[in-house]
Amino acid sequence: MSFLPKRDRLVAYLVLASLLLTGVAWLFDPGRDATAHAYPAEASFSGGRPAGGSFVLVDQDGQPKTDGDFRGGWTLIYFGYASCADVCPTELATMVGALDLLPEEVESDVSPVLISVDPERDTPALLGEYVPQFHPRLTGLTGTPEQLGPVLQAYGVVAEKRYSGGSAEYSMDHSSFFYLLAPDGRLQAVFHPGLSPEALAGGLSRRIAES
Ligand code: NI
């Protein structure tokens, strides 16, 4: 850098040094997730991304549905439940809003799915009333606790009953992510909650386009 005037040389050295320090800090950041993608809409998991996996459940028409039924196209899964007062309706609206923003030929290749975290109350009949309120192609899946338990585990979903005020009524505390399955069934991306429809649509487009 001897071709630079003395003061500019100093600035150049300072810039280099700060870049180096940033790099070193990044390498040694204990919160850094080695599996994290640089994509801002995607969730990062310090213990590694959940593996995802197969499922055998029942849809809102009472018909058996497996992950295999969704192969060949993209699948966007949200885990929630019909009597959720707040978070689920918001996130499902974001999901539908994001789909609406995708180009028609991409949108039609994505199957939106709601998998219940509340098998006790979410009967196929109840999901049959619930899911069409959001999207005509939204599939609602439920099952016995024995069927759902391993699915929640495979996707790293946390769901827990919460009773309040001595009432017999409960709500479910649950994690709230979107899971994008590739046409071959592999879990391709996990998007975090609280996104705008635009941000989710952008994340989906990028993942679908790069495949
Ligand atoms: Ni919810």
CATH number of the domain within which 54 lies: 3.40.30.10
In sequence order, the β-bridge partners of residue 159 are 174
pLDDT at residue 88 tops 80: yes
Asked whether residue 176 is domain-assigned, the answer is yes
The residue type of 144 is T
Distance 171 CA to ligand 1 centre (A): 8
Percent of the chain surpassing pLDDT 70: 82
pLDDT attached to residue 167: 85
| Domain count within the chain | 1
Residues 73, 111 contacting (CB under 8 angstroms)? yes
Mean pLDDT taken over the chain? 88
- Residue 142 CA to residue 118 CA, distance in Å, equals 8
Asked whether residue 59 is domain-assigned, the answer is yes
Q: Count CB neighbours of 43 within 10 A.
A: 20
Residues in the chain: 211
Distance 136 CA to ligand 1 centre (A): 20
Q: Count CB neighbours of 82 within 10 A.
A: 21
Mean pLDDT check: name the lowest of 30-39, 95-104, 137-146, 184-193: 30-39
Nearest to 183 by CA among 35, 67, 105, 49: 67
pLDDT attached to residue 39: 80
Distance 117 CA to ligand 1 centre (A): 9
Asked whether residue 1 is domain-assigned, the answer is no
Asked whether residue 47 is domain-assigned, the answer is yes
Distance 19 CA to ligand 1 centre (A): 42
Asked whether residue 166 is domain-assigned, the answer is yes
Distance 157 CA to ligand 1 centre (A): 12
Distance 22 CA to ligand 1 centre (A): 39
pLDDT at residue 202 tops 90: yes
Asked whether residue 18 is domain-assigned, the answer is yes
Asked whether residue 38 is domain-assigned, the answer is yes
**Structural domain of residue 137, as residue ranges?**
6-210
Distance 92 CA to ligand 1 centre (A): 9
- Residue 78 CA to residue 55 CA, distance in Å, equals 14
Determine the average pLDDT of the residues in 125-148. 97
Mind listing the pLDDT tens digit for each residue in 38-53? 588 999 888 888 999 9
Asked whether residue 91 is domain-assigned, the answer is yes
